[in-house]
Amino acid sequence: MAAPRPTVLVTGAGGRTDTLSLLPSPPVSPTKTRRIRLPRRAIPVLTLVESIAGQIVFSKLRERSDQFAARGLVRSEESKQKIGGADDVYVADIREAEHLAPAVQGADALVILTSASPKMKPGFDPTKGGRPEFYYEDGAYPEQVDWIGQKNQIDAAKAAGVKHIVLVGSMGGTNPNHPLNSLGNGNILVWKRKSEQYLADSGVPYTIIRPGGLQDKDGGVRELIVGKDDELLQTDTKAIPRADVAEVCVQALQYEEVKFKAFDLASKPEGEGTPTKDFKALFSKVTARF
């Protein structure tokens, strides 16, 4: 009889990012590659599967069904039906801690993609000059989603014995005056940074990925670049396709080198450099723990 596959959970709520987790790996000799070799299919949980990035990560995990038995987490039954209504998709409110236990029970890894999403106020006319104004819906402010919601996910995963949490944040968190913080007076990067620190202090093996501006472009055709402390924001390479962020999330589940690490992530324009295929080499460039 074939060994069971490890489980990964992908979680999330509307317009927000996702979460994923893996089982423990066996000891690895320091003289050999440190790619994780799982005794069964990993069970990662991915949150915010209804988001664009969440759907891409979930799809990539399902394509690797010999490695992963993925679970998705969405905010509503309606969202679940929109992505097929499968039994491996759970419905939960990440703002309510008690809702998360069933989804993470028995999971090996958690990939957190949840993020608050500002909306533009109606009535803006670009022909009249000025700037658009933004707001957050009630109950969907960054403090509630990016702090309380992510903290609840981390706590639930830790209580369930999850062995690896991959958290997708954002570049810009070192600057409290970043323009994104002014949108809807939400201070979104402040709250994201707080949840990142909470994860780093949790004791659970973690990987924090901070991508630059997200693009709806093809993945797998660009050279990826890692950095730290928002240094990439001072360069011309400060954006990345969502599909490439999704692939990095999946790859992060497979390498010991990227545990207890945090990094900024961007890509060169298509046609410049060599498309990244060796993720072990990419992750070996990551040195920062936060």
Query: What value does the mean pLDDT of the chain take?
Result: 87
The CATH code belonging to domain 9-284 is 3.40.50.720
Q: Give the model's confidence band at 15: pLDDT under 50 very low, under 70 low, under 90 confident, else very high.
A: very low
- Ranked by mean pLDDT, which of 22-36, 115-129, 225-239 comes out on top? 225-239
Q: Which residue has the tokens 């295929």?
A: 277
Q: Which of 21, 51, 117, 170 is catalytic?
A: 170
pLDDT (tens digit per residue) in 228-277: 999 999 999 999 999 999 999 999 999 999 999 999 999 999 999 999 99
Whether 49 has a pLDDT exceeding 90, the answer reads no
Q: Can you point out the beta strands (E) in the chain?
A: 9-11, 18-21, 44-47, 71-74, 89-91, 109-113, 119-120, 134-135, 164-168, 206-211, 213-215, 224-227, 239-241, 261-267
- What is the chain's Cα-based Rg? 18
The burial of 95, by beta-carbon neighbours within 10 Å (0-12 exposed, 13-18 middle, 19 or more buried), is given as: middle
Q: Give the model's confidence band at 41: pLDDT under 50 very low, under 70 low, under 90 confident, else very high.
A: confident
Where do the structural domains in the chain lie, given as residue ranges? 9-284
What is the DSSP pairing of strand 206-211 with strand 164-168?
parallel
Supply the pTM of this predicted model.
0.87
The reply to whether 170 belongs to the active site is: yes
Q: Say how many residues make up the chain.
A: 290
Q: Which of 267, 266, 257 is nearest to 287 (CA)?
A: 257
Question: What is the token pair recorded at 207?
Answer: 């990987």
Q: Which residue has the tokens 């002014």?
A: 182
Q: Strand, helix or coil at 135? A: strand
User: How many CB atoms sit inside 10 A of residue 203's CB?
Assistant: 8
The pLDDT of residue 255 is: 95
The pLDDT of residue 177 is: 95
* Cα distance from N-terminal residue to C-terminal residue, the chain: 42
Q: What is the Cα–Cα distance from 150 to 223, expressed in whole angstroms?
A: 30
pLDDT (tens digit per residue) in 209-221: 999 999 999 999 9
